[in-house]
Each structure stands twice: as structure tokens, then as C-alpha cells.
Amino acid sequence: MRILVLQESDWIERGPHQSHHLFERMVQRGHEVRVIDFEIGWRDRSPRERIAPRRVFAGVHKVCDDVSITVVRPAFIRVRILDYLSSAISHSLEIRRQIREFRPDVVVGLGILNGFAGVWLSWRRRIPFVYYLIDTLHRLVPEPTFRGLSKVLEESNLHRSSLVLSINQSLHDYALAMGAREGQSKVLHAGVDLARYDSADGRRIRSKLGLAEDELVLFFMGWMYPFSGLVEVAQAILGGGLSTKNLKLLVVGKGPVWAGLQTLRKDGEGGNRIVTLEWLPYAQIPAYLAASDICLLAALRDKVMEDIVPIKMYEYMAAAKPVLATRLPGLVREFGEGHGVVYVDGPEQVVPRALELAREGLLPGLGAQARAFVSGNDWQTIVDAFESYLNGLVKRGDQGT
């Protein structure tokens, strides 16, 4: 099967996300995958060239070393607002080109603008189109002026797709409310590579980073959005006096909050209490998780976070680590109570709650509960279901409306 994937984020720099895991494992099964993506981080780099040329990246992989995916990045104009307009045109032209040259059996969309073009072009060529929903997409649009139009386009994409796959129940409800058809909308949960975490040894990492055995290590990984709550947690650790002297924050990733964390690290004891590392190869992450004691998703309450369940939650839990998370609707709907996730009202409660859990000796039991809860989410099972859905669409020739 040939699968064309449409994404409006950076496939190479960001992640690995659910999509990387899913499609690289599809390649392992003999399917051919080609991705059209977008250099979403260009604004953070202030590049001198205003015209980004079309680029083709061959042999790309983020998770599985034995796979090769071709990523095509259409040309666009590196000027605010014009980046949207130019990429809408170039992505549409590129989708036409890939349909003609790559001849996909199915198209899978993860974005709004190129998803809109993909739905219509797939329909015209009688190719099934699958919308793979991992976020409430229109809420992520950085330009408020465009969010209304983005919502309209997202509603159209959801309604016209042959199949909508949402990664959790809350997103499934969101998709239905946005126009997805009941009979063609399903939940396909995120997966975890359980075997990677079974053999992970965190002792070497603790020694390498200077983390003492009696120190309580709070861990976060991924893209650091302004609403991630990390700065608030770091400030609480540094301002807690003697009560937090054995508490450390370990962060792996990048994002807008990075600079704020570096400022805190340079102040007083920050350099000893806050450990920040940029992106690491995915194969190294299990050891860093093993080196931690409690994992965090202590986001500020933001509309973007209400319905989503980031893949890091499953990876935290697969590593048998308790998770301190803000009580958000999507998380509660997915994990409920008593499964290794301890809810707080916001990042300001993380430090006192973490100290309390450690003092009462609850961490091992909570970690075991977390691991048990995600034990059925092995990627093998998830990919089996995904492959079955796509095969069914291709055999039936389903196209949506």
C-alpha cells in the first residue's frame, strides 16, 4: 500500500509524535510512505532567505532505524501571513504532483490547509482520505485572525473524510461535534513501545547528571509551550527553601519556555536544581525516564489542552512512573482515577503534591498502576488496527462525500 501523509508541522525536527511511530511501523510492514510537511519553526530562526525552496529529504526516520521515509517540503514565503497563503498554494500543487507521481492508495491528513486540499483532490481521484486527529487543530493556529476560518476548514475536512481517527475519546467527541460522521469516526489510541522501557536503566543517567539517590527528580519531555507550566514548577522548586532542597527538575526538549528556564538556571542555585537538555535521540529517552521519579504534564489551563492526550503521557506510564497532571477533561476522560495519574489544579500544586507522594511512599505503587493501565497499548496492536482500517477503505474504495 502507498500512503501519502499531509502534515503542517516539521516532520524532521519535531517529535517523534504518534504519526512518526505509526507510519514508520507501517513501513516496517512493507508499506510505502511519503510525507508532505512544513517548516513550522522558521519564525524562531529568522532566516535570511525569504523564499524557502522546495526540498526533498530521503531516508528519514525518527523511531525505527531500519525504515526510510521520503519527506517533501514545498516552497513557501518566509513572511508572516504570506507563509500561510504561499504554503496553501504550494501544498496544493505538491499534493497534485504526488497523486500523479507517487499514486497513493490512501491519503492521510493531519493538518487544516493541506488537509482541505487533500480531501478535495483525493475525492476527485477516487482515493480514500483519512483524517488522523491528534489535536484540536484550529485552536493551535498562532494568528487569532485566522482561527475562525481555520475552524470552518477543519469542520469541512472532518465531514468529508472517508474515515476520522482520533487518538482519544475526548478528541472523538470533538470530531463529532465538528462535523465528523458517526459511522466513519473511530478512536485509535496512541501506542507505546513497552519493550524499550523494560530494559531501561536510569542509574547511569543519574550519575552522569549528578543526581543523588536521595533526590526527587521531576521529569518533563517534549515541546515546551508557554502554557506547559514548567517555569512555574521551576520557580516553586527554587523558592521552596529547605522543603525543596532535595527536589530537582529534569527537562528534555525545546520550545518557547527554554529561554525562561535558562534564566532561572543562572540565578542562585538554579544551575544545581534545574537540569535542561535539548532534543535527544528517541532511543535514549527510556533511560532518562528511568532516571526520574515523577513525570509531569502540569499545564496551565488553556483551551488547546482541554481535549488532547499527548503521547508523552503513555510513555511516562509505560516507564512505570507516576504522573502529576493538571485535571484537564481529555486526560480525565482517558485515564480516569486510580491509574497512576495524580491530578492537580495547576503547576502551583506540583511541588507540594510531589513531596507528599514521596513522603508517604506512594511512588512505586502509582508507577505500577500506570504501567498496568497502558499495557494494552503496545504499538503492535495499534498498528494492526490502523492497517486494517486502511486496507478496508482501499478494498471498498470508500471516499467520504
In this structure, what CATH number is given to the domain that contains residue 216?
Answer: 3.40.50.2000
Residue 151: inside a domain: yes
Alpha carbons 113 and 93: distance in angstroms, whole number: 12
Q: Say if residue 220 is in the same domain as residue 355.
A: yes
Note whether 349 and 388 are same-domain residues.
Answer: no
Compute the mean pLDDT over every residue in the chain, rounded to the nearest whole number: 91
pLDDT given for residue 365 in this prediction: 97
CA torsion, points 85, 87, 88, 89, in degrees to nearest 10?
90
Instruction: Check residue 91 and give its pLDDT.
Output: 97
The verdict on 156 and 207 lying in the same domain is no
In a domain, 248, yes or no: yes
Q: Is there a single domain that holds both residue 39 and residue 151?
A: yes
What is the C-alpha to C-alpha distance for residues 71 and 7, in angstroms, rounded to an integer? 10
pTM as predicted: 0.83
Kindly state whether residue 401 falls inside one of the protein's structural domains: no
Domain that holds residue 103: 2-191+379-396
Q: Are residues 324 and 383 in the same domain?
A: no
Q: Are residues 179 and 62 in the same domain?
A: yes
Rounded to the nearest 10 degrees, how much is the dihedral formed by the CA atoms of 337, 342, 348, 349? 100
Mean pLDDT of 264-290: 87
Tell me: do 215 and 364 sit in the same domain. yes
Peptide bond into 16 cis (omega under 30): yes
Residues 245 and 127 in one domain: no
Q: How many domains does the chain have?
A: 2
pLDDT digits (tens, 9 = 90+) for 318-344: 999 999 999 998 899 889 998 999 999
Rounded mean pLDDT, 66-91:
94
Q: How far apart are CA 63 and CA 23, in angstroms?
A: 10
Claim to verify: residue 39 and residue 172 sit in the same structural domain: yes
- Given a contact cutoff of 8 angstroms between Cβ atoms, the answer to whether 17 and 23 are in contact is no
- Claim to verify: residue 153 and residue 224 sit in the same structural domain: no
Examine residue 209 and state whether it is found in any structural domain, yes or no: yes
Residues 265 and 305 in one domain: yes
350: in domain: yes
Q: Could you read off the pLDDT of 2-55 as tens digits, one per residue?
A: 999 999 999 998 888 889 999 999 999 999 999 999 998 888 777 778 999 999
Domain membership of residue 226 (yes or no) is yes
CA distance 396 to 401: 14
Contact residues for 242 (Cβ-Cβ < 8 A; gap 6+): none
Dist. CA 193–CA 63, nearest whole Å: 10
Q: Is residue 257 part of a domain?
A: yes
Same domain, 390 and 342: no
Q: Is residue 275 part of a domain?
A: yes
